[in-house]
Structure 1
Amino acid sequence: MKKDNVFEFFRRLAELNPSPETELEFGNTYQLLVAVVLSAQATDVGVNKATRALFREVKTPAQMVALGEEGLKEHIKTIGLFNSKAKNVIALSEILVERYDGKVPQDRDALVELPGVGRKTANVVMNCAFGAETFAVDTHIFRVGNRTGLAKGKTPLAVEKQLEKKVPAPFRVGAHHWLILHGRYICKARSPECWRCPVVDLCGYKPKIMEKGAAKKAS
């Protein structure tokens, strides 16, 4: 995708949604970190259902440690991989209490050292909590980046590097939110809804589905 088209791509998405946010529900930075860890291979809707009661009870790492692994499992047992996620959340909470005075570090290298926190999770926290210009490449962004020609890459890291290079300054903080929402609700995996896409003319995807109901399996 050409430089001018990249700018126009994000300009249109920004015009439609000037203040994009994560769909995960949280009350503070620590709860955001926990929610993102829990969201791996799970939907935001499913995570929100599980964390509403949890986050009324637990607002700090110390409170999570006090709840304990078994107590946490009771809250999140509807989420996939809840056993390993509970173990990681308790472990990272203990580290936050012991090393960081209960605060979430603002450094990506420190974040990825926490149990259950990979680069994508760290990027989400850095962006949503601290306003960093990071690009958390999930399956939606990976698909949209490659399908549209915006940021092609064979791995999530490769797509992330392309976004870092190509996303223009006014849109860098909101970019990954716009791309996730675009992939989740319009540029869907099996049948992109090109007929209602605001950036369809900028997209490099060839077999566009321009009529509702004319869905075909998309690669």
Structure 2
Amino acid sequence: MMIMNKEKRTQIFTRLRDENPNPVTELEYSSPYELLVAVALSAQATDVSVNKATRKLFPVANTPEKMVQLGEEGLKEYIKTIGLFNSKAKNVIKMAELLIERHGGEVPETRDELVALPGVGRKTANVVLNTAFKQLAMAVDTHIFRVSNRTKIAPGKNVDEVEARLMRLVPKEFLMDAHHWLILHGRYVCVARKPKCNACIIEDLCEFKQKTSD
């Protein structure tokens, strides 16, 4: 499996940083708990649909205590426009109960404690660790998986392989924000069906063979 050389990778992240020096998640939140709920709701859903729901939900329930008071049926009313809302409502309420029971209502700052919560997988935990707590973590979603493999920045057969390679290969100075740059690049430029190679700022560095020309 060919992996691009270090100099090229450094150039790629330098360009992504120059274009967007302070990248942020497109999910709207104002506390680690709001971010945790938003990320849990965003599985197999768009950030746009989640933001639409949480703009109404968070003024009513933005702490684990308020979420438990709202209850599963109450929560469903706010998130019924999001895919898989039944199971997500169940998980978010259970998650709130466990945060109160085990963590005094605070969001824990370790991956092991986060993934022990209902509805929280490694990807969700990594988003929270990186975005809310400024820890070096790489949440590999479909966009990051695609960009890493297509460009050859950090190819891998599965998300765990890609995550491990990115953590090892992305130069340290870029590691904190790399997750956001790669997601945004995959969401808007290196899109799934037909990448917009002509609009890509790293097109000359990318090692994808079937580049598009229009």
User: TM over 0.5, yes or no?
Assistant: yes
Q: Which amino acid aligns with 1:189?
A: A
Corresponding position of 1:135: 138
Corresponding position of 2:85: 82
Runs of 4+ in 1 over 3 A off after TM superposition: none
Deviations 1:97-152 (A, max 9, x none): 11111000000000000000000000000000000111000000000000000011
What secondary structure sits across from 2:106 in the alignment?
Answer: coil
CA offset at residue 85 of structure 1?
0.2
Structural mapping, 1:92-111, within 5 Å = 92-111=95-114
Deviations 1:165-208 (A, max 9, x none): 10001110100100000000000000000001000011110111
**Residue in structure 2 matching 1:44, options 26, 47, 60:** 47
Aligned-partner Cα distance in 1 for 2:189–2:148: 14
Q: How many residues were matched structurally?
A: 211
Q: Does 1:29 align with 2:32?
A: yes
TM-score by length of 1: 0.96
Q: Which runs of 5+ in 1 are unaligned?
A: 212-219
Aligned-partner Cα distance in 1 for 2:30–2:172: 28
What secondary structure sits across from 1:124 in the alignment?
Answer: helix
What secondary structure sits across from 1:57 in the alignment?
Answer: coil
Q: Which runs of 5+ in 2 are unaligned?
A: none
Q: Which amino acid aligns with 1:9?
A: I
Q: Does 1:144 align with 2:140?
A: no
Q: Does 1:156 align with 2:159?
A: yes
Corresponding position of 1:175: 178
Q: Which amino acid aligns with 2:37?
A: V
Q: Does 1:125 align with 2:128?
A: yes
Corresponding position of 1:53: 56
Aligned-partner Cα distance in 2 for 1:80–1:208: 33
Aligned-partner Cα distance in 2 for 1:78–1:38: 11
Aligned identity (percent) is 62
Aligned-partner Cα distance in 1 for 2:98–2:104: 9
Corresponding position of 1:216: none
Aligned-partner Cα distance in 2 for 1:13–1:187: 13
Aligned-partner Cα distance in 2 for 1:115–1:185: 31
Q: Over the residues paired in the alignment, what is the CA RMSD in angstroms?
A: 0.5
Corresponding position of 2:67: 64
CA offset at residue 65 of structure 1?
0.3
Deviations 1:25-50 (A, max 9, x none): 01111000000000000000000001
Q: Does 1:3 align with 2:6?
A: yes
